[in-house]
Amino acid sequence: MNNVGYNADHDERPVESVRFVQLTPPGSAASICIGEGLTDAAPGTSTNLLLVVSVIEAAMTS
């Protein structure tokens, strides 16, 4: 998993059908989460995006 140079923060398989992997690029405050069994969406697609920011008002105006 570390072939792209990202830090592997979490790589958990709580049950056989679910895998949760959190990756963070070096020096970044942002992480990417990928896995198996987390959604019904087809691989390579997404209908949701979750962003975590410290000041929501500032993020909404930029």
Strand ranges, E, within the chain: 7-15, 18-24, 32-36
Sorted by where each begins, the domain ranges of the chain are 1-40
Cβ atoms of 22 and 30 within 8 Å: the answer is: no
Q: Is the pTM of this model over 0.85?
A: no
Token pair, residue 57, equals 């008002």
pLDDT per residue of the chain (62 residues) written in tens, 0 to 9: 557 789 999 999 999 999 999 999 998 888 888 899 988 888 888 777 777 788 888 888 87
* Cα separation, 24 vs 28, whole angstroms: 7
